[in-house]
């Protein structure tokens, strides 16, 4: 039984911030299905956290981060035991603050993995949040720059 468990993996996820809003999408996945989560995905061989963040954001939302600053925020350890497929992720949280005048449109480029992206005010987040995100925010973590 134990021998069949997968190795822990590294995920890079991104707080895309604009004004007082965060970009979230409702997941279509065997992990955290129907919960609201950040864009992001698996770190690939040889990638930096910043490269992975920019690639996943582009693949999932069409947004080109260009010269935007991509900052490391924090890391959490997430063991998903209650999921149809058990898995363990070390999740790296990055941040990108978009200009309020940003004109690129967010697209749902992986509709089989996400119902769609939307901006949500920090004080009015949708429910249910994907639990790694829920846990951080409940713990008082604020992704916005001071």
For ligand 8DG, the binding residues (CB under 6 A) are: 11, 13, 29, 31, 37-38, 40-42, 56, 78, 89, 91, 113, 130, 132-133
β-pair partners for 88: 79
41 binds Mg ion (CB under 5 A): yes
User: How many residues bind to Mg ion according to rule CB under 5 A?
Assistant: 2
Contact 39, 14 (CB under 8 A): yes
Q: What is the separation, in whole angstroms, between the first and last Cα of the chain?
A: 47
Which partner, Mg ion, ligand 8DG, none, binds residue 49 by CB below 5 to 8 Å per kind?
none
Instruction: Tell the smallest beta-carbon distance from residue 136 to ligand 8DG (Å).
Output: 9
β-pair partners for 97: 17
Instruction: Tell the smallest beta-carbon distance from residue 6 to ligand 8DG (Å).
Output: 11
- For residues 19-48, one letter each, b for 16 or more C-beta atoms within 10 angstroms of the residue's C-beta and e for the rest, the string is eebbbbbbbebebbeebbbbbbbebeeebe
Specify the residue, 40 or 143, whose C-beta has the smaller distance to ligand 8DG.
40
């Amino acid at each position: 039984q134990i021998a069949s468990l997968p190795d822990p993996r590294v995920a890079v996820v991104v707080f895309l911030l604009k004004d007082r809003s965060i970009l979230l999408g409702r997941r279509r996945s065997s992990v955290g299905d129907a919960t609201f989560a950040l864009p992001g995905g698996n770190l690939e061989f040889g990638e930096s956290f910043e490269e992975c963040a920019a690639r996943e954001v582009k693949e999932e939302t069409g947004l080109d981060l260009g010269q935007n600053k991509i900052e490391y925020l924090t890391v959490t350890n997430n063991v998903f035991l209650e999921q149809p497929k058990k898995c363990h992720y070390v999740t790296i949280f990055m941040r990108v603050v978009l200009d309020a005048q940003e004109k690129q449109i967010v697209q749902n480029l992986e509709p089989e993995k996400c119902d769609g992206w939307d901006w949500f005010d920090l004080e009015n987040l949708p429910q249910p949040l994907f639990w790694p995100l829920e846990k951080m925010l409940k713990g008082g973590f604020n992704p916005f720059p001071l």
